[in-house]
Amino acid sequence: MKSGTLLGAAGWLSTTDAFTQNLTNNDIDKLVDANGNYIQQALPYNENFLEPYMDTETMHLHYSFHHGGAVKGANKDLQMIKKSLSENNLETVDFWTKKLSYHFSSHILHSIFWTNLTNKRTEPKGDLQKRIEKNFGSYDKLKFLIAETSKNVDGNGWGIVAYQPYSDSLTVLQCENHEKLTQWGAIPLLVIDVWEHAYYLKYKNKRNDFVDALFNILNWDNAAQRLDTALKLTK
Ligand SMILES: [Fe+2]
């Protein structure tokens, strides 16, 4: 196992180590093994690392069961599609294709979400900051936009800041469930999970308070690294 994926006995690991290594070694998050089966990377910190803004019990349930469940689901969906093909029977393949879109999108967004959080306040710098100013006017304007977008998702979903290579610009998406209302090609840089499982234990029904609190722990350095990766992948 790579050293960056191990959690230190001291209680926490440098927040970016595991996922920085994952990104650096693979150009993009490594979410499958050599056989193409979906795998869940280790959290880059202990489950209490984001206290008090994200409580330990929520982190545990969210990572282990909600994200973990999506990985299991995506593997099953993939198997069922392969089975349908091997049996030349595509009667149910549309069901499994939809399920795979749902589960794999959940896996992707959750994997990014953990890296987008740290235990201190950060702000965009460098190329990311310049692009934010060009596309939204200022960081304050983007904060306002992504916060309102996230708070106002109908039902469960995500607020997403993405790089859109077709227009070479940053864009904000309001995603429902895990897979709806995207723009083709958009690469997520910073994602905000507003499913009830992300906040209900601590914030109850107050989604707005949860979204506002997240700004204390958003890891814009990770978003900047993701922008670098996206530009390299799409140039
Ligand atoms: Fe979630």
**What is the 193 CA–ligand 1 centroid distance (Å)?**
5
Question: pLDDT digits over 108-131, tens only?
Answer: 999 999 999 999 999 999 999 999
- Helix (H), strand (E), coil (C) string for 118-165: CCCCCCCCHHHHHHHHHHHCCHHHHHHHHHHHHHCCCCCEEEEEEEEC
**What is the 90 CA–ligand 1 centroid distance (Å)?**
31
**What is the 64 CA–ligand 1 centroid distance (Å)?**
10
The whole-model pTM stands at 0.90
106, two tokens:
């959940």
**What is the 158 CA–ligand 1 centroid distance (Å)?**
9
Q: Name the nearest CA neighbour of 143 among 229, 218, 58.
A: 218
State the Cα angle at 228 between 223 and 234, rounded to 5°. Answer: 120
In the predicted structure, residue 65 carries a pLDDT above the cut 80: yes
**What is the 94 CA–ligand 1 centroid distance (Å)?**
25
Question: pLDDT digits over 129-154, tens only?
Answer: 999 999 999 999 999 999 999 999 99
- Single-letter code of the amino acid located at 209: D
Question: pLDDT digits over 8-59, tens only?
Answer: 333 344 444 555 566 656 567 999 999 999 999 999 999 999 999 999 999 9
Cβ-proximal residues to 85 (8 Å cutoff; 6+ apart), any chain: 93
